[in-house]
């Protein structure tokens, strides 16, 4: 359908504002009007009664360099069939491997895919503890190449929108100097290109307080609630002063659930005791968590709904806030006239739903978000 009217739904526009009972008109891939009971003008009508109508979900942390390395999955496994209309691949590719990703993988996807370039020329090809031998992209310092990262990113905008560094000791063969080279180099590459840096930090030789002090406004600290000893919270959930200062100056605090980076105890204490909610909710979805504990974006959003985050804020953290972090909010992330018609249709199911963290601990949720339909650039389909 080139033009249609979405009628009868409960609209959450992505800004964090309260829900509205309004209609949305879509024409030629754009939102052209929003209002109460719009004239149908002989347009086809999508009956959204019983659904929350939201912006298309945006996953700020995914691995979809399909066919290369051990981590990535096809975009279709975590994209449109799951209500996710835009994906940010975070460091799967480095300057030596990125052209394959951009040339052969991205054009076949129905989703929009953007990427952060790994400061390692290899990207993250390996490095999971279950894939022996463990060989991280920082094990050989010669692959940490700032000039190559800057040159490649500059040549391949707008696909590459920033830099990624994975700071975990095992990925650097246990060498602190390699982690520091990667962090310093990633910051420098991001500064030279005027782009954000996303830092994965867990079980690292670099103290988290030091790392947080060096991050700039617009940089992204992912794996926010990881359960390892070097997270940025006191035992009762109180955020470190460096964490609070980083968020205050504009560092984006991102969930990045992953296979090892979301613990119920950490998240519950931080959120419920101190109101330290994430700016962005992302999955870090890959081959090692697709079949649990992540599953998909809706399940990850549901975990924060279960923690008590208001629904409109949950949706904002999965739509407009990631669009802002990617500097794409002029086109994506909210339901506004003139913006791209990327739209998700969600329902809340009632019941008892076990939700697992990366340690196998569960919480019983009484509600869960389920994606029922999606539109990408106006092209709409019901999913189930």
Task: Give the pLDDT band of residue 42 (cuts 50, 70, 90).
Answer: confident
Task: In whole angstroms, give the CA distance from residue 223 to residue 202.
Answer: 8
Q: Cα–Cα–Cα angle for 3, 32, 333, nearest 5°?
A: 105
Q: What pTM value is reported for the model?
A: 0.98
Q: Residue 93 half-sphere exposure, CB side, CA atoms within 13 Å? A: 31
Task: Give the pLDDT band of residue 1 (cuts 50, 70, 90).
Answer: low
Could you give the 3-state DSSP secondary structure of residue 102? helix
- Alpha-carbon dihedral angle through residues 313, 84, 284, 351, given to the nearest 10 degrees: 60
Q: Inform me whether the pLDDT recorded for 50 exceeds 70.
A: yes
Give me 52's structure tokens: 């929350």
Domains in the chain (CATH in brackets) are 3-54+338-382 (2.30.40.10), 74-325 (3.20.20.140)
Q: Cα–Cα–Cα angle for 225, 229, 234, nearest 5°?
A: 65
In this prediction, residues 31-36 reach a mean pLDDT of 96
- Alpha-carbon dihedral angle through residues 297, 299, 300, 306, given to the nearest 10 degrees: 150
Q: Residue 308 half-sphere exposure, CB side, CA atoms within 13 Å? A: 11
Task: In whole angstroms, give the CA distance from residue 91 to residue 127.
Answer: 13
* β-pair type (220-222, 197-201): parallel
Residues 6+ apart with CB under 8 A from 310: none
Task: In whole angstroms, give the CA distance from residue 377 to residue 86.
Answer: 11
Could you give the 3-state DSSP secondary structure of residue 284? coil
Give residue-wise pLDDT tens across range 77-121: 999 999 999 999 999 999 999 999 999 999 999 999 999 999 999
Q: Which residue has the higher pLDDT, 37 or 19?
A: 19
Give me 6's structure tokens: 């979405």
Give residue-wise pLDDT tens across range 284-333: 999 999 999 999 999 999 999 999 999 999 999 999 999 999 999 999 99
């Amino acid at each position: 359908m080139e033009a249609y009217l979405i009628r009868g739904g409960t609209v959450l526009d992505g800004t964090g504002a309260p829900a509205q009972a309004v209609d949305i008109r879509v024409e030629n891939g754009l939102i052209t009007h929003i209002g109460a009971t719009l004239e149908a003008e002989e347009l086809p009508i999508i009956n959204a009664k019983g659904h929350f109508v939201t912006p298309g979900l945006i996953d700020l942390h995914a691995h979809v360099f399909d066919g290369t390395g051990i981590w990535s999955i096809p975009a279709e496994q975590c994209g449109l069939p799951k209500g996710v209309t835009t994906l940010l691949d975070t460091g799967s590719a480095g300057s030596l491997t990125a052209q394959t990703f951009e040339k052969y993988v991205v054009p076949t996807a129905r989703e929009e895919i953007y990427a952060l370039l790994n400061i390692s020329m290899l990207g993250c090809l390996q490095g999971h503890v279950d894939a022996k031998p463990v060989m991280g992209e920082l094990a050989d310092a010669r692959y940490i190449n700032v000039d190559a990262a800057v040159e490649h990113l500059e040549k391949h905008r707008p696909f590459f929108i920033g830099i990624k560094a994975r700071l975990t000791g095992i990925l650097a063969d246990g060498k602190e100097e390699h982690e520091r080279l990667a962090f310093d180099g990633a910051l420098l590459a991001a500064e030279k290109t005027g782009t954000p840096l996303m830092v994965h930090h867990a079980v690292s030789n670099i103290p988290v307080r030091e790392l947080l002090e060096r991050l700039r406004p617009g940089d992204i600290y992912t794996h926010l609630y990881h359960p390892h000893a070097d997270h940025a919270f006191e035992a009762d959930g109180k955020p470190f002063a460096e964490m609070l200062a980083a968020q205050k100056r504009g560092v984006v605090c991102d969930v990045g659930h992953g296979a090892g980076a979301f613990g119920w105890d950490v998240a519950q204490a931080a959120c419920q005791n101190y109101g330290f909610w994430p700016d962005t909710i992302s999955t870090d979805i890959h081959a090692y968590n697709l079949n649990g504990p992540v599953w998909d974006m809706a399940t990850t959003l549901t975990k924060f709904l279960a923690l008590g985050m208001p629904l409109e804020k949950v949706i904002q953290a999965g739509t407009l806030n990631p669009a802002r972090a990617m500097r794409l909010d002029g086109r994506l992330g909210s339901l506004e006239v003139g913006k791209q018609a990327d739209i998700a249709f969600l329902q809340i199911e009632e019941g008892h739903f076990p939700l697992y963290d990366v340690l196998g601990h569960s919480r019983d949720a009484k509600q869960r978000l389920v994606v029922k339909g999606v539109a990408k650039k106006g092209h709409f389909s019901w999913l189930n």
